[in-house]
Structure 1
């Protein structure tokens, strides 16, 4: 059993862990990084279809969710004040990675993000990195005047004065993801929220008319609501994709972050059209309902949504109630999801370490020199590069404090 002493130990070789190590190395801090998997940045390598959606032109707290929205907003404002989109672009330049901007302000690597990760790891050549290290136990001891943290793996006993936990969430367990950070936080007195899937497909209820439409994709506007309170994607209209079991695509993934069990989902399948106006247009009066709707969306979806008793009716013959029914079925389609798909299909998680337990520098309020960063905190970004930006911002904040 090897004994190892280090000033700083970082647990987790993802975005936050690797970038904290990189920034601390630039400050000549004695640093050790351990990762439970053989490959560093395993999940990061898959981000953005392997092209790494690194950040967004619009970085603000409204693109994040948390159980403690007030505290999250305060913390995010602090992080984003010192770590902006331009900082991410500068970091990408340091890693010799060009970028491209796509819709909704999303910024991706021009080459697979594994190239950026490879350059980053090369820059850590003088940093002690231990991979395939499964943690068996963790503890802390008070040695005046400061605490020391002790991490036990199968091959090492590691003692450190400063500890960073950046092990992510339970999303993608097939890549080694777990709730390890929550286990540590709870043992050492922090409150936590259990992880649940986010940025994952919504599951349709059994016998839903929308089942059987897999493969169809179209732009929609979605919202989740209950008791008069609504939550909607701040980016507005996004593409929805029907799957064998539910709703995916950017629109479905974003709403999975906002939706809570039992809430109703509303979908506007024609968000850029005014159906009522089209029906009031005298030029459409002699058209059959189906002939008005079919050119506007895929046939299979149109026939599923249109009330069957209205499909062969002429627009001019529709009563006010009929028109309201048609509009509701297409521009305000409502249902309560069965749930959200499993961790295996989730890109992120809702939940994590309660924000009241950490400072603006992401240091534990209960234990000096203990830091939490990235997805293990109770902050989740919506689709669009927000989670990687948050992870990088955490790394910058922690490294600046250390």
Structure 2
């Protein structure tokens, strides 16, 4: 039988950061992961370059049943703190659009950095470790039963097992099942930051234009005081829509609810047709739309949406439709294509400052397994780092 002060379940971004903080405090720390190597999701992130944080990270960039929960952890470890760590390891990086920071070279640089920090903090990293069960003994000690290994006793457990997204990378429901076993509620989970699929009717109308993209403002039609709107690229796929605008709004989308797309944000597309002596016909409409859309998309929109007549009221109605095109997705591409999981361990049962369970002393939940989901563009990594630091400084 073996023992440790802190056992961390999951060697992803949150788990490794928690281990670094715990080890720095002199706590005997073991990280367990069922995969063959640490940081597998980090390695594939950002197209292999890991968008490791976002300069604009704020609590408002996160979706949760409790919108205030993430504030404490995000304040404790900020993007500036992560940048300092990256620079200390001489990892070169660059800023892309909307404050996103990416490694110049490879995501491997971030994983290597985390592994080095763990080594310096005397953290033991055990991969290919399959956890069979976790029990809380009357003494307050946790007993972990491991396949083909002796039991491990731990004073504290930090659950950093991630969500359900990208199952081919090893994602499982283990963290949720463990939380429920210890009495925690789970906010229903669903795929987030995920492409959306069309109904057969809409697929017939649009999906032969697969590969075309255009800038839009995407929002939901739900009535809300904090209704999100994202101005980014929309991509037509062979099954529906994707691209940053779609991925962003997908986390807020409710099945059966229409999305609203402004296809020409900030532009009065049909003003040329309203000028004195201007042509008003399908060719003129297509020409006006081509100033905004790719040519094939402009032609298809003209074919489907040209007015019955070309009067000023008809043109005004068409202009309005361009700026508020409503479409009801059939569904999502599921966890296979989702970047994150929306929902998770109910934050009402966690301490916002330490991430410790309010039900079981010395049990912590961090990262994606919690009901905190960030926007696309480095926000979820920042939550992983920040929640890991908070738990690692307390466990």
1:153 aligns with 2:146: yes
1:142 to 114, 138, 145: 138
SS at match of 2:141: strand
Task: State the partner residue of 1:265.
Answer: 259
Q: Any gaps of 5 or more consecutive residues in structure 2?
A: none
2:389 to 371, 380, 396: 396
1:383 aligns with 2:383: no
Structure 1 residues 247-256 or 285-294, which shifts more?
Answer: 285-294
Against the structure 1 CA distance between its residues 24 and 227, is the aligned structure 2 distance closer, same or farther, given a 3 Å change threshold? closer
Task: State the partner residue of 1:326.
Answer: 318
SS at match of 1:197: strand
Q: Output the TM-score relative to the length of structure 1.
A: 0.91
- C-alpha deviation, 1:283, in angstroms: 7.3
Count residues in correspondence: 387
Indicate if the aligned counterparts of 2:53 and 2:382 stay in contact, CA closer than 8 A: yes
- Between the aligned partners of 1:354 and 1:283, the Cα distance in structure 2 is 62
Task: State the partner residue of 1:65.
Answer: 63
Indicate if the aligned counterparts of 2:268 and 2:319 stay in contact, CA closer than 8 A: no
SS at match of 2:210: coil
- Between the aligned partners of 2:223 and 2:86, the Cα distance in structure 1 is 44
Deviating 4+ runs (over 6 angstroms): none
2:234 to 218, 237, 240: 240
Structure 1 residues 210-219 or 356-365, which shifts more?
Answer: 210-219
- C-alpha deviation, 1:362, in angstroms: 0.5
Against the structure 1 CA distance between its residues 377 and 308, is the aligned structure 2 distance closer, same or farther, given a 3 Å change threshold? closer
Against the structure 1 CA distance between its residues 182 and 302, is the aligned structure 2 distance closer, same or farther, given a 3 Å change threshold? same
2:112 to 118, 125, 132: 118
Against the structure 1 CA distance between its residues 309 and 88, is the aligned structure 2 distance closer, same or farther, given a 3 Å change threshold? closer
Task: State the partner residue of 1:204.
Answer: 198
Task: State the partner residue of 1:351.
Answer: 343
- C-alpha deviation, 1:109, in angstroms: 1.4
Q: Output the TM-score relative to the length of structure 2.
A: 0.93
- Between the aligned partners of 1:286 and 1:201, the Cα distance in structure 2 is 37
Task: State the partner residue of 1:10.
Answer: 8
- Between the aligned partners of 1:40 and 1:309, the Cα distance in structure 2 is 52
Indicate if the aligned counterparts of 2:50 and 2:107 stay in contact, CA closer than 8 A: yes
- Between the aligned partners of 1:363 and 1:230, the Cα distance in structure 2 is 29
- C-alpha deviation, 1:72, in angstroms: 3.0
2:186 to 169, 173, 192: 192
1:225 to 201, 221, 230: 221
Q: Any gaps of 5 or more consecutive residues in structure 1?
A: none
- Between the aligned partners of 1:23 and 1:284, the Cα distance in structure 2 is 68
Indicate if the aligned counterparts of 1:306 and 1:329 stay in contact, CA closer than 8 A: no
- Between the aligned partners of 1:384 and 1:220, the Cα distance in structure 2 is 17
Against the structure 1 CA distance between its residues 224 and 280, is the aligned structure 2 distance closer, same or farther, given a 3 Å change threshold? same
- Between the aligned partners of 2:198 and 2:18, the Cα distance in structure 1 is 40
